[in-house]
């Protein structure tokens, strides 16, 4: 991993609501790193060292269950700022963040974060707004785990990924291990659901990806 400070920061999209002086200081504080897929950005229980900006690629946010299984809470896609919670409450990280692809990452060190929060009120308020947004996303994820069956959770995720591609391709690039982390069940449970859907011609199973064949059937599974 190579870190570099780039004061130009041409590939940094700053959060809405920052005044120009704060924007300039944020850009001056950012270091950039290139990480390979699977690299650990931070672990649950770590002290906060950096505030992060995902410039390129994807990051998986997850927790480890008591039986050692990884449950994916969110998948972040560039451009995306994250990691603000521990700077606001001073507590350790609550989850793991892992590179889900080769990524380019911007990061602001703890000493610079303290300067930005103390110097720029608008930067501090931006962090609070971002924390509220992320909290709402986690509540929505918790609702899904409490109120939806694994089959409904998977249908919802497939529909979301299909819609993100704007219908341009029915291919969803996911392995069974990734799907298992996404909906919080075992790989064997995922295999049973996919086999059932394939038999009903809702999907086709391919190596490394799924082909969506019947969007309406997925919608009916989600809202029977």
Supply the CATH number for residue 171's domain.
1.10.10.10
**Confidence (pLDDT) at 44:** 92
CATH code for position 126: 2.60.120.10
Q: Are 33 and 3 in contact (CB under 8 A)?
A: yes
Q: Are residues 10 and 107 in the same domain?
A: yes
Residue 160 preceded by cis peptide, ω within 30: no
**Which alpha helices (DSSP H) does the chain contain, by range?**
20-29, 85-89, 110-119, 121-147, 150-164, 176-183, 187-199, 215-222
Q: Are 32 and 104 in contact (CB under 8 A)?
A: yes
Q: Are residues 89 and 20 in the same domain?
A: yes
**Confidence (pLDDT) at 104:** 95
Q: Are residues 8 and 113 in the same domain?
A: yes
**Confidence (pLDDT) at 7:** 47
Q: What is the pLDDT of residues 43-82, one digit of tens each?
A: 999 999 999 999 999 999 988 877 777 888 888 999 999 9
Instruction: Read off the pTM.
Output: 0.77
Q: Are residues 164 and 175 in the same domain?
A: yes
**Confidence (pLDDT) at 6:** 53
**Confidence (pLDDT) at 9:** 59
Q: Are residues 39 and 131 in the same domain?
A: yes
Q: Are residues 142 and 206 in the same domain?
A: no
- Candidates 75, 82, 93, 103; CA nearest to 179 is 75
Q: Which of 94, 125, 146 is the last residue of a domain?
A: 146
Each residue's pLDDT, cut to its tens digit, for the chain (224 residues) gives: 555 555 455 678 888 889 999 999 999 999 999 999 999 999 999 999 999 999 999 999 988 877 777 888 888 999 999 999 999 998 999 999 999 999 999 999 999 999 999 999 999 999 999 999 989 988 888 888 889 999 999 999 899 888 877 666 788 888 888 888 888 888 889 999 999 999 999 999 888 889 999 999 999 998 86
Note down the domain range covering 177: 148-222
Instruction: Report the number of distinct structural domains present in the chain.
Output: 2
DSSP at 209: E
Strands 58-64 and 70-77, how do they pair?
Answer: antiparallel
Q: Are 210 and 194 in contact (CB under 8 A)?
A: yes
Compute the distance between CA of residue 196 and CA of residue 213 in angstroms, rounded to an integer.
13
CB-facing half-sphere around the CA of 119: CA atoms within 13 A: 14
Q: Are residues 86 and 157 in the same domain?
A: no
How long, in residues, is the chain? 224
Q: Are residues 24 and 128 in the same domain?
A: yes
**Confidence (pLDDT) at 50:** 95
């Amino acid at each position: 991993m190579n870190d570099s400070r780039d004061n130009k920061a041409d590939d940094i999209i700053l959060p809405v609501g920052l005044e120009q002086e704060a924007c300039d200081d944020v850009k001056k504080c950012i270091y950039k790193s290139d990480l390979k897929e699977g690299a650990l950005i931070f672990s649950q229980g770590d002290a906060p060292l950096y505030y992060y900006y995902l410039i390129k690629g994807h990051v998986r946010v997850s927790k480890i269950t008591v039986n050692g299984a990884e449950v994916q809470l969110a998948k972040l896609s560039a451009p995306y700022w994250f990691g603000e919670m521990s700077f606001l409450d001073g507590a350790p990280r609550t989850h793991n963040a892992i590179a889900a692809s080769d990524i380019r990452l911007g990061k602001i060190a703890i000493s610079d974060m303290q300067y930005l929060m103390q110097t720029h009120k608008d930067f501090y308020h931006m962090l609070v707004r971002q924390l509220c947004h992320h909290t709402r996303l986690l509540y929505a994820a918790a609702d899904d785990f409490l109120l939806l069956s694994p089959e409904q959770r998977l249908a919802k995720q497939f529909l979301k990924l299909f819609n993100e591609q704007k219908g341009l391709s029915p291919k969803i690039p996911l392995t069974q291990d990734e799907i298992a982390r996404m909906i919080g069940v075992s790989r064997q449970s995922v295999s049973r659901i996919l086999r059932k859907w394939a038999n009903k011609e809702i999907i086709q199973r391919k190596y490394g990806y799924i082909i969506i064949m019947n969007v309406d059937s997925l919608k009916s599974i989600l809202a029977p």
